[in-house]
């Protein structure tokens, strides 16, 4: 379950890295809710990454996704992961644990297809592949990790599972403003 005691920390973190928005017709004029019920509804169906909502707040878009990863262990060649060209992610671990690896070199990156859900809905233009020499750290429920755009990231080991919320800062407006996951449309 979500740890409600850490919600103020996540909100404070987001405010600390936010820039003052400029206003126009297409920009959200008030707060946007992503309820606990919304998160749980989409998490139940999440095999991997599911975007919940994307909001245009002026100088950038903000997306909120929920991710589920099952047990896994990477091979000796390195860690499989992604690097997002323009979107910064803030992970908040909801349940489970794993070893997250960030940084390092991705010697043979593959560009994600422009028409893929990864690019069109989740995180914008990205590359994927095996990367090496990153920084490993164990993460578990309640932990927060900020992954800047351009930084390779992936899990080297998940013993049972890990569920985590991802808040995505999109200064280039590559995410689809106004997006709401079908399961939580009202």
Using one digit for the tens of pLDDT, what is the confidence trace for 14-35? 544 444 443 333 577 789 999 9
- Domains, the chain, ordered by start: 7-184 (2.60.120.10)
Q: What is the β-pairing status of strands 88-102 and 153-170?
A: antiparallel
Average pLDDT over residues 146-151: 98
Burial of 68 (0-12, 13-18, 19+ CB in 10 A): buried
Mean pLDDT lowest for which of 2-16, 73-87, 118-132? 2-16
| pTM of this structure | 0.85
Top pLDDT among 73 and 9 is at 73
Q: What is the β-pairing status of strands 88-102 and 110-111?
A: unpaired
DSSP per-residue letters across 92-140? EEEEEEEEEEE-SB-SS-EEPPTTSHIIIIISSSEEEEEEBS-EEEEEE
């Amino acid at each position: 379950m979500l740890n409600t005691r850490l919600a103020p920390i996540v909100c404070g973190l987001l405010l600390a890295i936010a820039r003052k928005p400029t206003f126009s017709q297409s920009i959200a004029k008030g707060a946007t809710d992503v309820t606990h019920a919304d998160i749980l509804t989409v998490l139940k169906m999440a095999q991997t990454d599911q975007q919940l909502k994307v909001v245009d707040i002026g100088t950038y878009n903000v997306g909120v996704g929920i991710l589920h990863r099952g047990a896994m262990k990477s091979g000796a060649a390195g860690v499989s992961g992604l690097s997002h060209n323009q979107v910064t992610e803030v992970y908040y671990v909801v349940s489970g644990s794993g070893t997250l690896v960030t940084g390092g070199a991705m010697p043979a990156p593959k560009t994600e297809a422009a028409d893929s859900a990864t690019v069109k809905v989740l995180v914008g233009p990205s590359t994927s592949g095996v990367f090496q020499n990153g920084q490993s750290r164990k993460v578990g429920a309640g932990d927060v990790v900020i992954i800047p755009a351009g930084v390779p990231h992936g899990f080297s080991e998940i013993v049972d599972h890990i569920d985590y919320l991802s808040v995505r800062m999109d200064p280039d407006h590559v995410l689809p403003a106004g997006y709401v996951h079908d399961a939580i449309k009202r």
